[in-house]
Amino acid sequence: MKIAITATGNSLNSKVDSRFGRCSYFAVYDMDENQTKFIKNPNKEAAEGAGPAAVQLIAKQGVTQIISGEFGGKAKSILEDLNIQMIMLNGPEKSIQEVLDLMAINK
Amino acid sequence: MKIAVASGKGGTGKTLVSTNLFNVIQKSGFAVDLIDCDAEEPNALQFIHADLISQKSVTQNIPVIDKEACTFCGKCEAYCHYNAIVVLPKLRHIQVVEDLCHDCGACEYACPAGAISWKSKTTGTIRTYAVNNGSSLIEGRIEIGVYSSVPLIKEVMKSSHHRQLAIVDAPPGTSCPFIATVSAADFMVLVTEPTPFGLNDLKLSVEILQQLDKSFGIIVNRAGLGDHRVYDFIAKNKLLLLDEIPFDPRIAKSYSEGKLITDNMPNYHKHFLQLFSRIKKHLQYDRNSYT
């Protein structure tokens, strides 16, 4: 099972990026392998449609859950169609590592 | 000849200027069109007495993908510049995000399987109203829920004959609908107000018009309010100050009653006639300077 987290940089110490479609990186955590890889978001500066393009990118990775601060309307409806669960992260800024630790506790 | 009245900031007086300018020109016996391109909220009709003579729908094409014929090769997605197609080959999933489609046809060109056909979607309505002696009001009104008014605005701008003089009420802001209007106009009138907000948005509009190489003049509305920084900006950049409209509570009252100030206050009738002759003089000069 794979989970994506929107990230401001490409390390585990990077903060969670609060925007989905226009985040800097996607941290893709593979639960079975216990490994995280970072994918640069090529659509960060897209004029239009950054959300749908981001959905396509992470869905191709086989992600079933996505964690971010917020999701735009267009992205939301496609994620719903694809049965990818959206998890919205509120509260104080967290690093990718902190989110992964939280998930390990809640498992 | 299309003269578009615009402002970066909403509520500075675009409709006040465009409707009154149209009114004085039309009443002095010239045939003129008023084109309302503020398609998300057209309101010029509230000030002009006019009879509906025709209306037409504006449509755009949206691709329909035949999932039986589709090979999920992803070429359509690669060709789409607007991220309007999502393809996931492994999941055998393909979908069109209708709001993002610009109706360019690239996906159909890209598709090797012939899986793309088209459906029509109504994006808005163009209504033409007769005013007087060959003058008319042309209004573009976007369909509720349609993402972009640009295709509709392009059609509205084409609805007035190019030889006819037309005053255009442009959409607010400086984004795509503004640019679609400006691109089809011959001369721009920017309405601003002497406040920090007015100045900020005037700067944005001026920057775009200079990039588009459009000639323009500026009207300071609600003159007497705020400060002098708008005037400093105009002077420093050697811009054309066409007119000042005073901060006059009678204007606000008349506007809120849906009445034209050029109809119920003779001094403003004269004021707008003078404004029109200044614009004409400038256009004449401008045309000569190009030839």
Which value does ipTM take for this structure?
0.83
pLDDT score for B290: 44
For residue B152, give both structure tokens: 């509709």
Q: How many CB atoms lie within 10 A of CB A73?
A: 8
Same domain, B275 and B190: yes
Q: Which domain holds residue B72?
A: 67-114
Sign, Cα dihedral of A16, A20, A25, A26: positive
The CATH code of the domain that includes B93 is 3.30.70.20
The CATH code of the domain that includes B40 is 3.40.50.300
- Compute the half-sphere exposure of residue B239: CA atoms within 13 Å on the CB side of its CA: 27
Fold of A2-106: Nucleotidyltransferase; domain 5 (3.30.420)
- Tens digits of residue pLDDT in B188-223: 999 999 999 999 999 999 999 999 999 999 999 999
Same domain, B175 and B266: yes
Same domain, B53 and B71: no
Same domain, B153 and B286: yes
Give the global pTM.
0.80
Residue B122 placed within a domain: no
The mean pLDDT value for B119-141 works out to: 94
Q: Is A101 helix (H, G, I), strand (E, B) or coil?
A: helix
Residue B119 placed within a domain: no
Same domain, B140 and B160: yes
| A-chain residues near B97 (CB < 8 A) | 49, 52, 74, 78
Number of domains in chain B: 2
Inter-chain touch B88–A56, beta carbons under 8 Å: yes
Residue B120 placed within a domain: no
A43: nearest CB among B83, B93, B97 = B83
- Tens digits of residue pLDDT in A14-38: 999 999 999 999 999 999 999 999 9
Same domain, B97 and B197: no
pLDDT score for B287: 57
